[in-house]
Amino acid sequence: MKALRRENMKSPPPTEENPLNAEAPPHSAAAAAAGAISAPRVPTLVIEGGKGLGGLDFRDLWAHRDLLYFLAWRDVKVRYKQTAMGVAWVILQPLLTMAIFTVLFGRLAKVPSDGEPYPIFVFAGLLPWTYFNQAVTTASNSLVGNAALITKVYFPRLVIPAAAVCAGLIDFAIAASIMFVMAFHYGMPFGASLLLIPPLMALTALFALCVGMWMSALNVKYRDVRYALPFLLQIWMYLTPIIYPLNFIPERWRWLLALNPLSGMIQAFRAAVFGRAIDWSGLGLACAMTAVFLVAAGWSFRRMERQFADIV
Q: Render 224-285 in DSSP notation, one character per residue.
A: THHHHHHHHHHHHHHTSTTSS-GGGS-GGGHHHHHTSHHHHHHHHHHHHHHTPPP-HHHHHH
Percent pLDDT > 90 in the chain is: 40
176 Cβ contact list (under 8 Å, min separation 6): 127, 197
169-203 per-position pLDDT tens digit: 998 999 898 888 888 888 888 888 889 999 999 99
Other beta carbons less than 10 A from residue 234's beta carbon: 10
* Res. 29 pLDDT band, cuts 50 70 90: very low
pLDDT at 262 over 90: yes
- C-alpha to C-alpha distance for 256 and 251, rounded to whole angstroms: 10
Q: Is the pTM of this model over 0.85?
A: no
Check if the beta carbon of residue 161 is closer than 8 Å to that of residue 68: no
pLDDT at 256 over 50: yes
SS3 307: coil
130 Cβ contact list (under 8 Å, min separation 6): 93, 94, 97, 172, 175
DSSP H helices in the chain: 2-9, 28-38, 58-63, 65-79, 88-101, 118-140, 142-145, 147-150, 159-185, 197-221, 225-238, 254-258, 261-274, 280-305, 308-311
Check if the beta carbon of residue 269 is closer than 8 Å to that of residue 128: yes
Check if the beta carbon of residue 245 is closer than 8 Å to that of residue 112: yes
- What does the pLDDT read at residue 53? 52
Lowest mean pLDDT among 95-104, 114-123, 140-149, 301-310: 301-310
* Res. 63 pLDDT band, cuts 50 70 90: confident
